[in-house]
């Protein structure tokens, strides 16, 4: 698995330090607001697990699963596979994403959640692949801006593999070419 990685882009230590900062900021901004962390499965699970342990105010968790990718290329289709378990009306929502690429997925999800009349929605994304953006979406809490490379690890996959790598790495081009 490690042989398939060309380069470690963000190390475990760098991830930990950044997530600690984001957690501190969220704790400060949401004092008394009991935010709901809505995590987009499956890529964001490791991020949210580490993030909530850096947050020192009461929160709740809910999960959403959408499908927008098959392999490396964007299909442009966003499909809801699993909806939220709880009602978010009048709740303060923080949407947790692993990576924003074209922005199409996030845009779709934010619009869908807005219709449910939450008190507020903010976006927290670990990675921002800004150069690939098709639809502009505001990111309120951001981890790292990254170059236009396909990354895996720390929850993120390529064809369901590599999610358990503890760092964010760039995949060898041969792996992508052989697909």
CA atoms within 13 A on the CB side of 79: 8
101 is catalytic: yes
- Contact residue for Mg ion among 23, 35, 43, 153 (CB under 5 A): 43
Q: How far is CA 4 from the centre of its chain?
A: 23
**Which part of the chain contacts Mg ion (CB under 5 A), choosing from 16-24, 36-44, 55-63, 157-165?**
36-44
Q: Which two tokens mark 27?
A: 């704790």
Beta strand extents in 1-88 (DSSP E only) = 5-10, 36-41, 60-70, 73-82
Q: How many CB atoms lie within 10 A of CB 27?
A: 15
**101 is a contact residue toward Mg ion (CB under 5 A):** no
**64 is a contact residue toward ligand IMP (CB under 6 A):** no
**Which part of the chain contacts Mg ion (CB under 5 A), choosing from 88-96, 97-105, 132-140, 170-178?**
97-105
Closest-approach residue to Mg ion (CB): 43
Sorted by sequence, the CB contacts under 8 Å of residue 87 that are 6+ apart come out as 116
Contacting positions for ligand IMP (CB under 6 A):
43, 68-69, 74, 97-106, 129, 150-152, 156
Chain residues in the site for Mg ion (CB under 5 A): 40, 43, 98
- Residues acting as catalytic residues: 101
């Amino acid at each position: 698995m490690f042989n398939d990685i060309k380069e470690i882009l963000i190390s475990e230590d760098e991830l930990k330090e950044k997530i600690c900062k984001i957690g501190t900021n969220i704790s400060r901004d949401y004092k008394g607001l009991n935010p709901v962390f809505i995590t987009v499965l499956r890529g964001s699970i490791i991020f949210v697990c580490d993030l909530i342990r850096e947050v020192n105010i009461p929160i709740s968790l809910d999960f959403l699963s959408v499908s927008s990718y098959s392999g490396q290329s964007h299909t442009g289709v966003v499909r809801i596979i699993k909806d939220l378990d709880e009602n978010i009306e009048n709740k303060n929502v923080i949407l947790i994403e692993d990576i924003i690429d074209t922005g199409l997925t996030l845009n779709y999800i934010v619009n869908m959640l807005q219709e449910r009349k939450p008190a507020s929605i903010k976006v927290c994304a670990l990675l921002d692949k800004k150069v690939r953006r098709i639809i502009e979406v505001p990111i309120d809490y951001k981890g790292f801006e990254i170059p236009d490379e396909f990354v895996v690890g720390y929850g993120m996959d390529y064809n369901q593999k590599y999610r358990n790598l503890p760092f964010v790495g760039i995949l060898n081009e041969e792996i992508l070419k052989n697909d």
